[in-house]
């Protein structure tokens, strides 16, 4: 397991400049998040050696120098797997041919074709020509191909951007299985915070070619001092454990630091970890524990920070024991409730919000 040290400068054709100096943690999935045009793809291409960076740029991967003023390791020796947004399957080869192209050139111990096919449900596609695949199938083959090349690092450039919900989930499923089995570090480019929240451990926010924020995802999304908290769709991501399935009402009870949280029924065993997204706009606070309310999820929290985000609105940081969430309320309510940091409050979370955003992912 190795960290990635990056010091990159790269100019685009339209005067755009990527200027990044950062270290990414070892053995984890890092999301590179930002609006389109923020330099996410450029960063990946530089990492893979597909794009030349300015002199003075350096890339170190696990102590190996890939790029410096003295050496340049070419793409084909870097052992990176790259999943492009447009699958880029080789048109003259069928699915099996594409997969074999990768495994024949694998430098690490070759992964069994069978295993990869199982992760990504490719068995039925093996003999198909690539032009007879749907977008989702193509992308699964592309992911399989990248895995079979035995990479030390997997780069994914918005691999799910063109896919619909079901195809997306199948790809995510495959990626998770691979990650669990291989402990493969991944850099995952996305402009979709939902995708990011499902996969990443770590997040790097790029804005106009510069690193805006960087840190562990769960921590960063539940803090006020960064740009993520101030987005319209700001949402804290928390990790909870499945405690109980209630078949009668079609709900699942999650345990979030000794408190319980009800969501639409999820697949998974008791004890499985799940990530939930708690959108700031769907959290409200009360001084007293509300009785007789239709809202199922009421958590006791401590108000740890508050910030005025506009004339009308406030953003609160509510902490359980270790994990936190955000709440967006009006300034008027904050004044009327006389909120102060340190107050013990009751946070009400609309279940519907959790349902739509949580999905059934770990």
64: contact with another protein by CB under 8 A: no
Kindly indicate which of the ranges 46-54, 287-295, 318-326, 344-352 contains the residues binding another protein, using the contact rule CB under 8 A.
Answer: 46-54
Hey, which residues between 129 and 188 contact another protein (CB under 8 A)?
Answer: 145-146, 149, 155
Kindly indicate which of the ranges 81-89, 164-172, 236-244, 247-255 contains the residues binding another protein, using the contact rule CB under 8 A.
Answer: 81-89
13: contact with another protein by CB under 8 A: no
Question: What is the smallest separation between the CB atom of 346 and another protein, expressed in angstroms?
Answer: 51
Tokens of 47: 């990492």
275: contact with another protein by CB under 8 A: no
The residue among 102 and 220 lying less far from another protein, judged by its C-beta, is 102
Q: Exactly one of 76, 134, 273, 307 binds another protein (CB under 8 A); which one? A: 76
Q: Exactly one of 33, 61, 82, 188 binds another protein (CB under 8 A); which one? A: 82
Q: Exactly one of 56, 64, 90, 289 binds another protein (CB under 8 A); which one? A: 90
Chain centre to alpha carbon of residue 322: 21
Which one, of 111, 118, 123, lies nearest residue 148 by Cα? 111
The residue among 48 and 358 lying less far from another protein, judged by its C-beta, is 48
80: contact with another protein by CB under 8 A: yes
The residue among 87 and 285 lying less far from another protein, judged by its C-beta, is 87
107: contact with another protein by CB under 8 A: yes
8: left (phi over 0), alpha (psi -120 to 50) or beta: beta
Q: Exactly one of 6, 43, 48, 299 binds another protein (CB under 8 A); which one? A: 48
- CA 305, CA 326: separation in Å to the nearest integer? 10
Going across the sheet that includes 283-286, the strands are 283-286, 344-349, 297-308, 313-319, 324-330
Question: What is the smallest separation between the CB atom of 150 and another protein, expressed in angstroms?
Answer: 8
Q: Exactly one of 84, 119, 188, 262 binds another protein (CB under 8 A); which one? A: 84
Question: What is the smallest separation between the CB atom of 53 and another protein, expressed in angstroms?
Answer: 16
88: contact with another protein by CB under 8 A: yes
The residue among 56 and 91 lying less far from another protein, judged by its C-beta, is 91
Q: Exactly one of 5, 19, 86, 343 binds another protein (CB under 8 A); which one? A: 86
Q: Exactly one of 72, 73, 106, 126 binds another protein (CB under 8 A); which one? A: 106
> Residues touching another protein: how many (CB under 8 A)?
27
The string over 73-93, giving b where at least 16 C-beta atoms fall within 10 Å of a residue's C-beta and e elsewhere, is beeeebbbbbbbbebebeeee
Kindly indicate which of the ranges 90-98, 127-135, 176-184, 241-249 contains the residues binding another protein, using the contact rule CB under 8 A.
Answer: 90-98
Chain residues binding another protein by CB under 8 A are 48-50, 74-82, 84, 86, 88, 90-92, 101-102, 105-107, 145-146, 149, 155
């Amino acid at each position: 397991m190795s960290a990635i040290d990056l010091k990159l400068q790269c100019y685009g054709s339209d005067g755009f400049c990527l200027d990044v100096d950062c270290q990414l943690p070892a053995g984890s999935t890092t999301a590179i998040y930002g609006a389109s045009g923020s330099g996410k793809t450029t960063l990946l291409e530089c990492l893979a050696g597909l794009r030349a960076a300015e002199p003075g740029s350096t890339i170190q991967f696990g102590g190996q120098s890939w790029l410096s003023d003295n050496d340049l390791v070419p793409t084909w020796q870097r052992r990176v797997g790259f999943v492009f947004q447009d699958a880029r399957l080789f048109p003259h080869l069928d699915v099996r041919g594409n997969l074999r192209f990768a495994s024949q050139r694998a430098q690490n111990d070759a992964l069994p074709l069978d295993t990869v096919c199982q992760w990504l449900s490719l068995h039925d596609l093996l003999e198909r020509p690539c032009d007879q695949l749907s977008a989702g199938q193509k992308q699964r083959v592309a992911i399989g191909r990248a895995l079979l090349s035995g990479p030390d690092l997997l780069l994914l450039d918005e691999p799910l951007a063109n896919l619909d919900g079901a195809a997306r989930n199948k790809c995510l499923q495959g990626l998770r299985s691979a990650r669990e089995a291989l402990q493969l570090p991944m850099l995952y480019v996305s402009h979709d915070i939902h995708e990011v929240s499902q996969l990443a451990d770590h997040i790097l926010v790029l804005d106009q070619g510069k690193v805006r924020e960087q840190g562990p995802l769960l921590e960063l999304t539940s803090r006020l001092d960064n740009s993520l908290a101030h987005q319209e769709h700001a949402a804290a991501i928390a990790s909870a454990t499945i405690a109980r399935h209630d078949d009668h009402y079609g709900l699942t009870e999650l345990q979030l630091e000794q408190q319980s949280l009800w969501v639409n029924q999820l697949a998974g065993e008791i004890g499985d970890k799940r990530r939930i997204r708690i959108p700031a706009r769907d959290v409200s606070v009360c001084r007293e524990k509300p009785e007789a309310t239709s809202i199922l999820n009421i958590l006791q929290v401590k108000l740890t920070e508050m910030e005025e985000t506009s004339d009308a609105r406030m953003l609160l940081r509510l902490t359980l024991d270790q994990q936190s969430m955000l709440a967006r309320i009006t300034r008027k309510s904050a004044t009327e409730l006389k909120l102060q940091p340190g107050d013990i409050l009751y946070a009400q979370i609309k279940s519907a919000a959790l349902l739509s955003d949580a999905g059934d992912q770990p």
